[in-house]
Structure 1
Amino acid sequence: MNSWRVTKYNPLHRNNEGSYLYDDWTSFHEVGKKVSLADYLKIEEAYIQAIVAFMNEMDISTVYIHALEFSSNEIQNQHASDFTSNLWIGKGISIEEVKELAKLTLREAVWCKLGIKNLFFAHFGYDYYMYIGAHSNCYGARESVESLGLYVEKFESPY
């Protein structure tokens, strides 16, 4: 299985230990403080489209929820109670549902791991890190993601 770290962070700005050297926003909660809403939404959409690009290249229309945690206050803030009430570990979800769940994860209302055993995964980490794995090399998806302004680095998911 191939595995990549997909982020907004330029790998040229990391030290030898891999730590990012610049003080950059790392959370939805920094909108209005360190990042404008418009800039945040642009990056958020790029992350969501990154998942879709990999799923499309692999001809995947459904993935499964392998891990799921809720932050009830944030779910209420995002007006997502109806959506999240229909989610559970093991449920298969469509690309449209993946988009919504990824958005809620990036906004810290939920945390999840998505995937299809031995074929594909999308994991979310702290500080706006995302990990994608695929059975194939997904050259087209990686190129597409980089054209969105994100960076795709070979990296094993810690999740």
Structure 2
Amino acid sequence: MSHEIKYQWRITKYNPDFRDENGHYTRVEDWTSPYDIGKTFNGQAFTFEQYLRVESAYINTILMFIKESKVKSLRVIWLENHKSKVQRKWQFLYEDEFQHIQLEEDMVINLEDVPTICKMILRELIYCQLLVKDQLFIHFGWDYYMYIGTNYQSTVAIDLAINNGLYVESFQSPYYLSQEEIIRVIQWGLIGDNVIAGEEELKKIPLKEYQNILNLSYEHPVTGMFKLNTQHKDFFQRFLSHKMDFSTYEYYLWCND
């Protein structure tokens, strides 16, 4: 990311009064996932209706930040699909409209699809980040954490979040990485085996070259994981001591801090 996003916030349902000196949230009895629906917290059963109220607060907050940022579309990065992992007992979290959303890495999405996509993320059916390069990002973390960055003070969006029971803290997203912070590694394992057999770090490859070989837009920061195929072999082999063998191994490019 070539320019710093001016304002960044952590937006959650968690009251910062319950954080310790290290910023850790200390209230153990609190739900952190839609899959906590039906469990008991502080002597009260956590219901689907209660969940929906909080989910709506998050999504409405996102929409207001987008409106104040004046962007017209968003790009999907770091896409992971978890829909196939949903057990039958949680099928009530899956809505018919979800099947009409077909996302791809680096895809540009219309604003009208943002509520549905964010709902799928919050329900852990997919994972992705949304951004407009150097203008806006929306990041989701574990345990119902959300981070938003824009170049506007976004006072209306912040007030909306607070009025809907959320807490807004000035906070740099842990997912907001400069190119200098990103470590890119080639990992490989035997075909059909989930165990990593080896890895090598890549160095001194310009961002534009990654974008070109992976067929990504100039907006994509090349973070996340990418499965490689034989078309990528000649490019990456130049930077590896390991001799790539796609008949034996599966290869992935992993990019994170």
Structure-2 separation of matches of 1:158 and 1:150: 19
The percent identity for this pair of structures is 38
CA 1:79–1:142 in 2, change beyond 3 Å: closer, same or farther? closer
The residue type equivalent to 1:54 in the other structure is F
- Give 1 or 2: higher helix fraction: 1
Which structure 1 residue ranges, 4+ long, deviate > 4 Å from structure 2? none
| 2:54 matches 1:43 | yes
**Higher alpha-carbon Rg:** 2
| Equivalent residue in structure 1 for 2:67, among 51, 56, 59 | 56
What one-letter code is carried by the residue in structure 1 that aligns with 2:167? Y
- Aligned counterparts of 1:104 and 1:131: Cα–Cα separation in 2: 17
Separation (CA, whole Å) in 1 of partners of 2:25 and 2:85: 30
Q: Which of 151, 154, 160 is equivalent to 1:135?
A: 151
Q: CA RMSD in A?
A: 1.7
Aligned length: 158
Aligned-partner Cα distance in 2 for 1:154–1:83 = 35
Deviations 1:18-59 (A, max 9, x none): 111112000010011142111100000100111101001112
Quote the residue 1:114 is aligned against: 130
TM-score, with normalisation over the residues of structure 2? 0.58
User: Do the aligned partners of 1:123 and 1:131 also contact (CA within 8 Å) in 2?
Assistant: yes
Alignment map for 1:1-159 (pairs within 5 Å): 1=5, 2-22=7-27, 23-34=29-40, 35-71=46-82, 72-74=84-86, 77=91, 78-79=94-95, 82-84=99-101, 86-159=102-175
Question: Per-residue CA shift, 1:78-108, capped at 9, x if unaligned?
Answer: 1566234x21111111222111111111111
Contact 1:75 1:109 in 2 (8 A): no
- What stretches of structure 2 of length at least 5 have no aligned partner? 41-45, 176-257
In 2, distance between residues paired with 1:143 and 1:129?
A: 18
Unaligned runs of 5+ in 1: none
TM-score by length of 1: 0.92
Equivalent residues of 1:53, 1:141 under 8 A apart: yes
Q: 2:143 is aligned with what amino acid?
A: D
| Larger RCO (CA under 8 A, 6+ residues apart) | 1
Please tell me the residue identity of whatever aligns with 1:6.
I
